[in-house]
Structure 1
Amino acid sequence: MEAKSAVRFTLGKQSSLAPERWNDLLEREDDDEEEEEEEDWSGEEIDPGVRLMYAANEGDLEGVKELLESGVNVNFRDIDDRTALHVAACQGFSDVVKLLIDNKAEVDPKDRWGSTPLSDAIHYKNHDVIKLLEKHDAKPLMAPMHVKNFREIPEYEIDPKELDFTSIVEIKKGAFQVASWRGTKVAVKKFGEEVIFDEDKVRTFRDELALLQKLRHPNLVQFLGAVTQSSPMMIVTEYLPKGDLCSFLEKKGALKPTTALRYALDIARGMNYLHESKPEAIIHRHLEPSNILRDDSGHLKVADFGVTKLLKVAKSVKEDRPLSYHDVSWRYVAPEVLRNEEYDTKVDVFSFALILQEMIEGCPPFNTKQANEVPKLYATKQRPPFRAPTKFYAHGSKDLIQECWSEKPANRPAFKEIIPRLESIYNKFGHRSRWKVRPLKCFQRVEAMWKKENSTQSSIDQSSRSTSSI
């Protein structure tokens, strides 16, 4: 049985799951029990277990070693069930943590609020301690979005035990893996330490979830749920086995104009839904072939809303910092974003123009240049050359592309204007194809009938000659 004291260890950093309760408690006790506390914490009156916690709090390695050698229980708990390992983890003293573990300290003891040493180390961002505890099989109990009341658990929450990763398949699209959920294949994106330890990334993750659960459109990848109450946190979406548009174009090369236009309509419809969302327009800002997926019916769906921006009252937004090469693919980013200027929904229109041209040309924008050279070309108002035959850009498709990648965002059409223009161009291409094919089929039928009639007449004539000769 573990030793437990009626004393509360109140020095240093407190439990990661109850900081406010600690503060309230201390404020209530300060006035009435100040003299009693001074007596309890002085000299030989201090409980040896509390002295161990005090030494751990100070990072006193020799003091901790001396107390343990004297027989003090390494798993001593105060009135709140906190141990010396909790305290050392909060303070970030990895050498003390190692010494306690080497002396058979429990790795995952829970305090009265359910916090473990690893949870405390994560809360206070003590990375060396986190690695040390995980090395000794400590398991994270709480995710940064963990709620204290089960009624606050979001409706989209998925029990991680329902996700089967037995046959793990990496998807080319980012950090996604294929899993089975309730008998259905799904795509799962896991978030590791880089999110847990970064408040900004946790906030971005929370914003992405708030956005995803609102989106419903046939040309957007469907959000199914998320894991937020345990670690690792995850986002679960529908799985599209045919992969992304980037891989498809690498394999197929240039597409037929009608196919390119049909795909362009899928993209434009999905993007129009985002831009027309109320009360806040949604800017994707990361529109590129690798973020567009193909479904089983041959249609495209826009994916990856992790870097989206919302247009609220203001009519434009700006990045908090200049984009780096690791943030997005520079080949598809509008020049105003690369210049770290204010921008609006028209940045997605710029990217769309490049994607449409790529589908017709069969190669990425400025494919002969290094990616980090492309922003300079856009800055000098250069655009990818049109090398495909002129007939591939018939009926105004070239004009549309050029308008969409205009240097001035205000001159770029909105997707609600782009869609009817694409439909008109597509119908004209389709009418032209039908005009070419139908006469040919007609002539083939006439020719077949003519041959059949001649064959029949020939048989009759031959029969008549045979009869006559008899």
Structure 2
Amino acid sequence: MSEAEGGSEEASRTAAESQERPPAAAAEKQKEKARVSRTSMILWHAHQNDVAAVRKLLEEDRSLVHARDYDNRTPLHVASLHGLIDVAKCLLDYGADVNAQDRWKNTPLADAEGAKKHSMIELLKSYGGLSFGQNGSHFEPKPVPPPLPNKCDWEIDPAELDFSSSSIIGKGSFGEIIKASWRGTPVAIKRILPSLSDDRLVIQDFRHEVNLLVKLRHPNIVQFLGAVTEKKPLMFITEYLRGGDLHQHLKDKGSLSPSIAVNFALDIARGMAYLHNEPNVIIHRDLKPRNILLVNSSADHLKVGDFGLSKLIKVQNSHDVYKMTGETGSYRYMAPEVFKHRKYDKKVDVFSFGMILYEMLEGDPPLASYEPYEAAKLVADGQRPSFRSKGFIPELRELTDECWAPDMNRRPTFLEILKRLEKIKDSLQNDHHWNIFNT
């Protein structure tokens, strides 16, 4: 056999072997092509609401539940946007990430909210779905992280807290408020119940409140002193105010004189005007007498507290409104737009302030003869508490009526409220001096 014939035979054999065993690069390319094809298929079948095809693909390759398209969207994003419940349940059963974020940082729940797919919203929430993204969900802006000082400035060693003569001064669903001592100073400590120390949502709410409190500095806001975040139980520590809360004060004293009511209202409005300062607005969302504290037994100074339900938002436009959680806060002081699950803004706090002003002047909670939920329902239907006390003056009644106006755009801002209250205070003082002169 000639050299040429031998070379030809060798080449033929090499080519045959090459066909039997493709090079690694070729095999990898084939594998990648198949993967892209399967990714396209599961996204397509999810979009077509073909549950059987989606399940078959996942049975063959479970990792496809995490498939992504060019916009980084998962099959669960597709199902959520179109409200395809059965496909979504299948994907979740196979371990889909309920909080996966796409190219715009939106979660499946953000897409479902944007498309108003209410059944899908409930399903995703039941699996721990959160609504956030680059700009929040389609309805709700992403909370603005407050500028935090170094953690070492406010992290407290629990060994510094003295509970030897402590007393419980308040209780809630997730924890208790304790009067104790820190470095020899009386303090109020909000302590998460040990049974909930590992609850993800409770921890999330705790850290949210700490992050808000760290940022706040104002004479009419309860002062944050520090927190225990690295050891259990989780705790945050604020100043202790000896006067108790406004709810108990009104229960003990009854209706307040117009002059005292105005002074109280001024303190509340100063604290709220600070919280509502743009562009980083903090909406309290649970303004009520129990969350307004008296500095001392003389009741000469008030502070706004309890920011567990507060929402920090970035205001792009002074007329922006947001779709935040409906029925958030306490029913008796709740604005109608919150009760009805409609879009709302910082004016919900103004509504609550109007209810508190009424209670200070009347001595009884608004619509006291009704249960809280029934009271909120009546208010949402347009009813308002009636003035009975002879102590109120027309200017205060007019201000109260404006604060609880059904149209939130007609309610004054807290800066406007402060100006009105200052004028009322001056007129009350002038009237008082004039009466003395005449006697």
Tell whether the structures are fold-level matches, with TM greater than 0.5: yes
- Residue 329 of structure 1 deviates from its aligned partner by 2.2
Question: Which amino acid counterpart does residue 201 of structure 1 have in structure 2?
Answer: V
Once residues 280 and 184 of structure 2 are traced to their aligned partners in structure 1, the CA distance between those partners, rounded to angstroms, is 36
Equivalent position of 1:339 in the other structure: 340
- Residue 382 of structure 1 deviates from its aligned partner by 0.3
Contact (CA 8 Å) 1:253, 1:363: kept in 2 or not?
yes
* Range with bigger deviation, 328-337 or 406-415: 328-337
Residue 263 to residue 228, structure 1, CA distance change in 2 (3 Å): same
Listed as ranges, the gaps of 5+ residues in structure 1 are: 1-151, 441-470
Q: Rg: which structure is higher?
A: 1
Contact (CA 8 Å) 1:311, 1:344: kept in 2 or not?
no
Question: Which amino acid counterpart does residue 265 of structure 1 have in structure 2?
Answer: L
Secondary structure at 1:171's aligned position in 2? strand
Secondary structure at 1:311's aligned position in 2? strand
Structure 1 segments of 4+ aligned residues over 3 angstroms from their partners: none
Residue deviations 1:174-213, cap 9 Å, x none?
A: 5211111111000000012464333233222222111111
Report the identity percentage. 49
Contact (CA 8 Å) 1:395, 1:428: kept in 2 or not?
no
Contact (CA 8 Å) 1:280, 1:312: kept in 2 or not?
yes
Residue 319 to residue 196, structure 1, CA distance change in 2 (3 Å): farther
Equivalent residue runs for 1:234-253 within 5 Å: 234-253=235-254
Equivalent residue runs for 1:11-410 within 5 Å: 153-172=151-170, 174=172, 175-193=176-194, 195-276=196-277, 278-296=278-296, 298-313=300-315, 315-320=320-325, 322-323=326-327, 328-389=329-390, 392-410=391-409
- Residue 347 of structure 1 deviates from its aligned partner by 0.2
- Residue 307 of structure 1 deviates from its aligned partner by 0.6
Contact (CA 8 Å) 1:192, 1:232: kept in 2 or not?
yes
Once residues 171 and 352 of structure 2 are traced to their aligned partners in structure 1, the CA distance between those partners, rounded to angstroms, is 18
Secondary structure at 2:355's aligned position in 1? helix
Residue deviations 1:209-259, cap 9 Å, x none?
A: 111111111111000000001000001000011100000000000011100
- Residue 171 of structure 1 deviates from its aligned partner by 1.0
Once residues 428 and 152 of structure 2 are traced to their aligned partners in structure 1, the CA distance between those partners, rounded to angstroms, is 48
Contact (CA 8 Å) 2:241, 2:294: kept in 1 or not?
yes
Once residues 167 and 217 of structure 2 are traced to their aligned partners in structure 1, the CA distance between those partners, rounded to angstroms, is 27
Question: Which amino acid counterpart does residue 339 of structure 2 have in structure 1?
Answer: L
Once residues 260 and 153 of structure 1 are traced to their aligned partners in structure 2, the CA distance between those partners, rounded to angstroms, is 39
Residue deviations 1:368-394, cap 9 Å, x none?
A: 1111211220121000111111xx332
Once residues 215 and 392 of structure 2 are traced to their aligned partners in structure 1, the CA distance between those partners, rounded to angstroms, is 37
Once residues 169 and 242 of structure 1 are traced to their aligned partners in structure 2, the CA distance between those partners, rounded to angstroms, is 15
Secondary structure at 1:210's aligned position in 2? helix
Once residues 283 and 402 of structure 1 are traced to their aligned partners in structure 2, the CA distance between those partners, rounded to angstroms, is 21
Equivalent position of 1:435 in the other structure: 434
Question: Which amino acid counterpart does residue 157 of structure 2 have in structure 1?
Answer: D
Aligned length: 283
Contact (CA 8 Å) 1:354, 1:365: kept in 2 or not?
yes
Residue deviations 1:250-284, cap 9 Å, x none?
A: 000001110001000000000000001x5410000
Contact (CA 8 Å) 1:173, 1:290: kept in 2 or not?
no
Once residues 417 and 261 of structure 2 are traced to their aligned partners in structure 1, the CA distance between those partners, rounded to angstroms, is 14
TM-score, structure 2 as length reference: 0.62
Once residues 194 and 208 of structure 1 are traced to their aligned partners in structure 2, the CA distance between those partners, rounded to angstroms, is 19
Question: Which amino acid counterpart does residue 375 of structure 2 have in structure 1?
Answer: V
Question: Which amino acid counterpart does residue 309 of structure 1 have in structure 2?
Answer: K
Residue deviations 1:46-80, cap 9 Å, x none?
A: xxxxxxxxxxxxxxxxxxxxxxxxxxxxxxxxxxx
Contact (CA 8 Å) 1:187, 1:239: kept in 2 or not?
yes
Contact (CA 8 Å) 2:335, 2:380: kept in 1 or not?
no
Residue deviations 1:395-417, cap 9 Å, x none?
A: 51111100100001001000010
Residue 176 to residue 250, structure 1, CA distance change in 2 (3 Å): same
Contact (CA 8 Å) 1:395, 1:425: kept in 2 or not?
no
TM-score, structure 1 as length reference: 0.58
Once residues 380 and 157 of structure 1 are traced to their aligned partners in structure 2, the CA distance between those partners, rounded to angstroms, is 47
Residue 270 to residue 157, structure 1, CA distance change in 2 (3 Å): same
Contact (CA 8 Å) 2:309, 2:329: kept in 1 or not?
no
Once residues 227 and 289 of structure 1 are traced to their aligned partners in structure 2, the CA distance between those partners, rounded to angstroms, is 28
- Residue 433 of structure 1 deviates from its aligned partner by 1.2
Once residues 395 and 368 of structure 1 are traced to their aligned partners in structure 2, the CA distance between those partners, rounded to angstroms, is 25
